[in-house]
Amino acid sequence: MTRNELLDRAGLVYKAFNGGLHLRVEGRDEYIDYWPTTGKWKAGSGVIGFGVTTLIERVKGKPEKKVEEADLSEYVKWKDLGQLSLDEIVAEIHRRKS
């Protein structure tokens, strides 16, 4: 299932830009910019996250997994190695912080 299909299935409303490379998702009280090719999203409040699952959780009201600036260096390291998906990277970062 594609990321867009997951958004549709979750009932989220969004508008596509640049041939679908950039989506603007309607959140509860803000818009969220989302880039499906990288999985990165940025809420109007400034919160940054990765993965369609965490984006859906933010809009649906579940606690989001926040990714701090320090986490980004680990994300880049793991992403470059190609060993983990974006959701797995975020989960691993939060597991290590706990």
What ranges do the domains of the chain cover? 3-60
> Across the beta sheet with 31-35, what order do the strands follow?
14-17, 22-26, 31-35, 40-43, 48-50
Strands in the chain per DSSP E = 14-17, 22-26, 31-35, 40-43, 48-50
Give me the tens of pLDDT residue by residue for the chain, a chain 98 residues long: 888 889 999 999 999 999 999 999 998 889 999 999 999 999 998 999 999 989 998 898 765 455 555 556 656 665 555 556 667 777 777 777 66
